[in-house]
Chains A and B, each alone.
Chain A
């Protein structure tokens, strides 16, 4: 702990009566520093134990063949090679990207549509917005259970009955290898869109209303208004929201695990479920750790990218 006269606490510089005695000031300063670090101790201890030690340990394990009782063997990059050459991991990566892109874009488009529909001051709209927000508040695991029931694959299942009224055949939803991934994506859009709606609604209120009016005088169509007034005004927040959602979708686990567990026939296996089954069910901890480190690296790169993007936006 440094006792050098760094930057004295604000109060000391402003209080004229304490400024004269250097010894007393030093003691005050030390006390200040102690207080600062004491307040940081709980966060530091928890962060160290439950975030940073596991992170370092994960990176270490990713270079070892982990065997209980026999001792770990250093294998260099073997685990990483196993992950990158594993066909099922590559398939899972494809599913992760498809699911992430569909969910992120879908939730954004639906959220935008919802915001345009429900924009306004009326009390009835406010109540509707509150109701529509429910899926966001509900835990993902519960959302998953709800949709498992809605997706019941027989012709008299809830969603299939509705499809029946429309004259469409019963779908297998989560049980079909070619429908399961899309069914999960729909759940993601359903539970994510209201969140985006709130963000976009906030952005919409910031749009200068006089622009709409002058556009109306100029005879602009609704489409032109959206294209040239609304979207440009929303862009800064949309970019950030989009990137954050993309990062989050990389590690989506709960909804996939609850809805299908990666099945049927691995058609919904994503990076996280593959990692989970390797690490916790097959105890292949080294390879699973390598997969986790790869995920971490991609997340870090994307996050840094977002930060830079955000900075550039702010500078412009």
Chain B
């Protein structure tokens, strides 16, 4: 997992005599037409990918924001959109989202760490079958099993309670995600067995082994499953939609569509809501982006 990331850096670290072909296209660091072309293209790319976000931010703070009058800086700065958002109960939706994301992520990470510990550090009968089932959970997303899942949520078998309308209806189903378990156990496999044996000779039990020996060595992997899990939970749309009893149970991302269809609120409020829904994922991304890149690249090279 780590070697794919570090190997190329080592390669590029020693500058070869002819640094001309440092990149596939042979971009040169010297000032020239080549460089100007590259800068122009970069500006274009920046406009395409970043300006929409700036327009959203500006629109959220603009007094008379309308889709026909989007600018990159608010023409007349106001917080009125956020006041209107308060009246529309957007903070409640945000709270729903945060509770779901926090609870769901905590559950998902705990479940994944536990399962990964068994799957990677132990050998037992039926291990291959368990692993197969774990992989299968990745092929059963909410979209595919949405209809029967909505029946299950309405009447949880055995416990006989209805999850519908409670945040648990979103938190519990996202608790199991094969991807997290898989990433985590791949990482745990690489911890040398000697460390574990030494601890076991000292009489360390299973729980202490996991929490004081194995887990501290897994910090990078925790970052990876943390950010991917957060994105997975925050991105949920169908699940909160079918799990809700009425619109007040919606998460912020789902509630945006309610705002949009409400003709009494202007687009400024919608933009304020969109901004509120963006900020948490932005913060998580900026703090954990190293883990994120690592997760993507390891996922791609591992297949």
Contact = CB atoms under 8 A, between A and B. Distances in A.
A51 B139 CA distance: 10
Contact-size category for B: 35 or more
Contact of A47 (B52, B56, B176, B270): B176
A194 B49 CA distance: 9
A13 to B, nearest CB: 10
B49 A135 contact: yes
B68 interface: yes
Nearest to A231: B24
A289 B122 CA distance: 38
B224 interface: no
Contact of B12 (A57, A116, A205): A205
A216 B278 CA distance: 45
B52 A150 contact: yes
A73 interface: no
Contacts of B216: none
A163 interface: no
Contacts of B16: 209-210, 213
Contact-size category for A: 35 or more
B151 A57 contact: yes
B161 interface: no
Contact of A206 (B8, B48, B115, B274): B8
Interface of A is mostly: helix
Interface in A1-46: 2, 6-7, 9-11, 14-15, 32-33, 35-37, 39-40, 42-43, 46
A172 interface: no
B172 A49 contact: yes
Contacts of A132: 45-46, 49-50
A142 B200 CA distance: 49
B170 to A, nearest CB: 11
Contact of B254 (A11, A141, A152): A141
B241 to A, nearest CB: 8
Contacts, number: 302
Interface in B204-248: 206, 210, 231, 234-235, 237-238, 242
Interface string B146-166: 111111100011000000000
19 contacts: A36-B124, A39-B210, A43-B114, A46-B173, A52-B140, A54-B148, A117-B42, A138-B53, A139-B253, A145-B270, A146-B52, A152-B67, A158-B67, A158-B70, A198-B297, A225-B26, A230-B24, A240-B300, A280-B242
Interface of B: 4-5, 7-9, 11-12, 16, 18, 20-27, 29, 38, 41-42, 45-46, 48-50, 52-53, 55-56, 59, 67-70, 110-112, 114-115, 117-119, 122-125, 130, 133-134, 136-137, 139-141, 143-152, 156-157, 172-173, 175-176, 181, 193, 196-197, 200-201, 206, 210, 231, 234-235, 237-238, 242, 253-254, 256-257, 260, 267, 270-271, 274, 277-278, 281-282, 284-285, 289, 293, 296-297, 300-301, 303
